[in-house]
Amino acid sequence: MLEYEVLDACLKLLRDMFMLKPGETIAITTDTMSSDEIVEATAQAAVILGAKPLIFKIAAPEGAKAGDKDMPMKALIDGIKACDAWVEFNYKLIFYSTVYDKITEDPNNRPRYMNQNGVHPELLVRNIGKVDNILLNKFIQGFSDYCEAGHHMRFTTPAGTDLECDNEPGRDYVTADGFVRKNDIKMFPGQISWSPNFESVNGVLVVDGTLSPPIGALQGPVKFYIEKGYIKKIEGGRDAENFRAWLESFDDPNMFLMAHSGLGFGPMAQLNGDIVEDERVWGCTEWGIGNVGPQLVSDMEGGIAAASHSDGIALNCSLWIDGVQVLDEGKVVGPTEEFVELARQLGH
């Protein structure tokens, strides 16, 4: 039990990251597979800050759009939209569901939101309670700006990834910088995410960390051959076979779409089979497959619908942006000495 540390981390989450004010209402969503300890500590933290917590607990759905049929849709939409802020602790995603889409569809009138799917006490304390948010913000926002200003990217990993893509001009990056401002949609801190120009995504991706859903921690690497943004072939052992069968089970061509990329920069993140933390392991690359949320394609109203969504982790990434190397097997080597020094101060 980490009840003292969890409450401290939840206070930091609401006070410093959400900047929750007295009198504001925060929706706390959870399901029957989530951590009750974190939910209760977050509600306590809200009361300590003079805010009003409202807990929505549902039976665990399938997750994302596949879970639409299981959710009390109207009640969730109407209740959460009436709140000033929303933190999602659901183990099975409301994120990427129709409920989520309806709540967040108006960028000028929605609760500020942070995704904390499946977070458990040790993960929360390690990645929020023990991290210098100000320093992380300075590093990750600057690194994100540099990536977004570039054009062509090449990714390699020791496991065999060799993949290239281009930024789509005018398409926003989504940077989990640790702060949730008015109308913001933010992921758990420590990650840079974006959807590249889909047709420009070509090459080989080797996922050697986690592939979730439906597998979690992998028993062996899974190799994806990608042409013009779509998975054309999957190779590997039993995990590869199971994942291919899972994609095919939806009978949805968009389940083979490379939805987005991401860079992990969580200073304390550890690889443990939990996708929320795994995709923030320092120096990893995370690739989303399937549904594309509207926040990732700011130039495409409504995003790109697919039946579900999965995330795969490729460890120890090397990255070149317009020919300039910025990562070398997970270690920050550029684009300037300032970034190298900030990474060092963060423990890397």
For 80-126, the pLDDT digits (tens) are 999 999 999 999 989 889 999 999 989 899 999 999 988 999 999 99
- What integer pLDDT is reported at residue 10 of this predicted model? 97
- What integer pLDDT is reported at residue 96 of this predicted model? 81
Tell me how far apart the alpha carbons of residues 15 and 239 are, in angstroms, rounded to a whole number.
41
pLDDT tens readout for residues 21-67 = 999 999 999 999 999 999 999 999 999 999 999 999 999 998 778 88
Residue 134 clears pLDDT 80, i.e. is over it: yes
Angle at Cα 50 formed by Cα 47 and Cα 54, nearest 5°?
50
The residue-averaged pLDDT of 197-221 equals 95
3-state secondary structure (DSSP) of residue 342: helix
Domains of the chain, earliest start first: 3-128 (3.40.1830.10), 133-345 (no CATH)
pLDDT tens readout for residues 325-346 = 999 999 999 999 999 999 999 9
- What integer pLDDT is reported at residue 88 of this predicted model? 97
- What integer pLDDT is reported at residue 6 of this predicted model? 97
- What integer pLDDT is reported at residue 1 of this predicted model? 64
Tell me how far apart the alpha carbons of residues 332 and 315 are, in angstroms, rounded to a whole number.
14
Burial letters for 146-183: b for 16+ Cβ neighbours within 10 Å, e otherwise?
bbeebeebbbbbebebebbbebbeebebbbbbbbbeee
Side chain identity at 216, as an amino acid letter?
G
Tell me how far apart the alpha carbons of residues 36 and 24 are, in angstroms, rounded to a whole number.
22
Of the chain, the percentage scoring pLDDT greater than 70 comes to 100
The pTM assigned to this predicted structure is 0.86
pLDDT tens readout for residues 224-277 = 999 999 999 999 999 999 999 999 999 999 999 999 999 999 999 999 888 889
Average of per-residue pLDDT values in the chain: 95
- 9 in the Ramachandran plot: left (φ > 0), alpha (ψ -120 to 50) or beta? alpha
